[in-house]
Amino acid sequence: MAFLALRDVTVEFPIYQGSSRSLKKAIVASSTGGNLARDALDRVQVRALDGLTLDIADGDRVGLIGPNGSGKTTLLKVLGGVYEPSRGQMLSSGRVSSLLDVSLGLNPEATGRENIVLRGMYMGIRPRDMRPRIEDVAAFTELGPYLDMPVRTYSAGMMIRLAFATSTCIPPDVLLMDEWLAAGDAHFLEKAQRRMEDFVRRSSIMVLASHSMDLLKRWCNKGVYIRHGKLIAYEAIDAVIAIYQEQRQR
């Protein structure tokens, strides 16, 4: 069974030029939302997450709510294994797919077909399991003979098609998303939306960060409200949205 668990997780980023007065002012004026502190070496630390404890179980669809800079993307990257906690512990079970940047894992010098396997390896899928899916992915992209050309020759829209089709060819146990994915031009978008909806339904756990309350209500049963890196609320999605909206009006 898939699960995600955080135990008193804190993530801090040291600012090595933190002694600069202008830099400190810039950090304070930015929308990081994190807490500023100093470490033993007198470096400025940005605390992006501050003592989070969460349990996300099989079947949960969790919406991450909070203003820009609240720590939502940092939390997704901790759940996806991109960031190690500075303190605390992250536990997980199940294959995780992070749709935070679908272009990661692509080699511009390799062909489209070769990149299908490479992107699969980045997602933790063995080449022998990915190769039988190449033709299905190729058909979905509608890129035709371009699939036998180096990816560096692709337009941005072609790159998105290849990356999206590859990233969604095998449903994961745990799906992590930063905003709902828009995949390329209008012709491709409708087909991509149908594929994404099926991809979400077939995953065991989904964690989605979004500013769209309607989208979160549609897809999520639970909500996590984060502010300044701290957990404010974790309960039913409607209740968390209500808490968030009430606090915004104060």
3-94+218-248 matches 99-203 in fold: yes
φ and ψ at 133, to 5 degrees? -95, 0
pLDDT at 30 over 70: no
Query: Helices in 111-233 by DSSP H: which ranges?
Result: 112-122, 127-130, 134-141, 156-167, 186-202, 213-219
Mean pLDDT, range 99-114, rounded to an integer: 86
According to DSSP, residue 197 is labeled H
Contacts of 221 by beta carbon, 8 Å cutoff, 6+ apart: 60, 61, 62, 236, 237
φ and ψ at 237, to 5 degrees? -60, -40
Q: Considering the domain 99-203 in this protein, what is its CATH number? A: 3.40.50.300
pLDDT band per the 50, 70, 90 thresholds, residue 28:
very low
Cβ atoms 209, 179 nearer than 8 A: yes
Sequence ranges of the domains in the chain: 3-94+218-248, 99-203
Q: Which residue has the higher pLDDT, 38 or 97?
A: 97
Which residue in the block uniquely carries the two structure tokens 């007198």?
A: 42
| 203-224: pLDDT as tens digits | 999 999 999 999 999 999 999 9
| Among candidate residues 28, 76, 32, 81, the one with its CA nearest the CA of residue 52 | 76
Q: Which residue has the higher pLDDT, 204 or 249?
A: 204
Percent of the chain with pLDDT over 70: 86
pLDDT band per the 50, 70, 90 thresholds, residue 43:
low
Mean pLDDT, range 119-137, rounded to an integer: 90
Cβ atoms 196, 190 nearer than 8 A: no
According to DSSP, residue 104 is labeled T
pLDDT of residue 218: 92
- Measure the CA dihedral 117/121/122/125, to 10°: 110
pLDDT of residue 180: 75
| 164-173: pLDDT as tens digits | 899 888 888 9
Contacts of 185 by beta carbon, 8 Å cutoff, 6+ apart: 157
Most confident of 31-35, 41-45, 78-82: 78-82
Pairing mode, strands 87-93 and 61-65: unpaired
Mean pLDDT, range 147-158, rounded to an integer: 93
pLDDT of residue 160: 85
CATH homologous superfamily for the domain 3-94+218-248: P-loop containing nucleotide triphosphate hydrolases (3.40.50.300)
pLDDT band per the 50, 70, 90 thresholds, residue 37:
low
Strand ranges, E, within the chain: 3-15, 35-38, 44-57, 61-65, 87-93, 96-99, 174-178, 205-209, 222-227, 230-236
